[in-house]
Amino acid sequence: MKTRILAALVLLPIFLAILIIFPPIVLAITLVVICTLIAIELFRAGKEAKFTVFRIFVSFLGIIPIPLALSSLYWLRVMPWGQWLVLFPVIVTIFTDSGAYFVGVSMGRRKAFPNISPNKTIEGCIGGIIIGTVGIFVYGLIIQHFTGMTVSIPVLLTIGLVGSVITEIGDLAFSLLKRKLGIKDYGNLIPGHGGMLDRFDSMIFSAPMVYLLFIIL
């Protein structure tokens, strides 16, 4: 746990700086690197697949679908107020994942998906959705106060609720994939966290959804 926390304390500020301080081209280059590492991890993980078709499918995920999904971070960044909008999927992912974990550990009693992710509980899932939604709501109010950006409470609640649900679906989907491949982590690149995909699995789902919601709403 200590290694996990230390790695997060080092890497998270760097990633946040890339998102909001540096020009969008730096984010684009960073996403290319991240997607390349994810593709390599999936290619290696795919070798564990018993069936050729599934092996091809796993490798294909890292070539087109995942880069397309994560490119939503770039498109959010280049929108008006983009340096603040791009943090929405990051915040909903972090708050939902953290909320689900801590609520699950402290209050979790009933298993939610024992055949896919044995450690997930119903209480943890609900807690993650609530905390993810609250996190987005508070963040929206903060940026409105300090930047003058106009925010809509119904929009904030919609992004928080839908984003947190999608975040949990993303985490569950990649947990299922790991279970099918018979692996614990996609890699060991990040100490205490596993591979690059282990860190970005939920955001692969939340980033395009948040981007879509901003376009629609």
Structural domain boundaries of the chain?
A: 2-216
Cα(173)–Cα(155) distance, integer angstroms: 26
Q: What are phi and psi of 110, to 5 degrees?
A: -105, 130
Q: Report yes or no on whether pTM surpasses 0.85.
A: yes
Q: Which amino acid is at 2?
A: K
Surface-to-core class of residue 54, CB atoms within 10 Å of its CB (0-12 exposed, 13-18 middle, 19+ buried): middle
* pLDDT tens, N- to C-terminus, the chain (217 residues): 667 778 778 889 999 999 999 999 999 999 999 999 999 999 888 776 666 788 888 889 999 999 999 999 999 999 999 999 999 999 999 999 999 999 999 998 899 998 888 889 999 999 999 999 999 999 999 999 999 999 999 999 999 999 999 999 999 999 999 888 888 888 888 877 789 999 999 999 999 999 999 999 8
pLDDT of residue 213: 97
pLDDT of residue 1: 62
